[in-house]
């Protein structure tokens, strides 16, 4: 049985472990969908 720290392949994404954070919709990008500094800060806070 795999454990939480075993690598996993999800389609084209190879994750080094099974701890993942899915993208969150918070509306912190420009109208052209370009990430802003506040969006980067948001993900840093959750890392």
What global pTM score does this model have?
A: 0.47
Residue 29's DSSP bridge partners are: 35
Q: What is the pLDDT of residue 12?
A: 96
What's the pLDDT tens digit per position in 20-29?
887 777 778 8
What's the pLDDT tens digit per position in 1-39?
889 999 999 999 999 999 988 777 777 889 898 989 998
Q: Which two tokens stand for residue 45?
A: 């806070």
* DSSP per position, 1-47: ---TTS-EEETTEEESSS----------B-TT--B-HHHHHHHHHH-
């Amino acid at each position: 049985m795999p454990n939480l720290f075993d690598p996993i392949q999800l389609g084209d994404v190879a994750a080094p472990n099974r701890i993942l954070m899915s993208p969150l919709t918070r509306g912190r990008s420009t109208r052209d969908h370009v990430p802003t500094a506040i969006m980067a800060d948001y993900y840093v806070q959750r890392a």
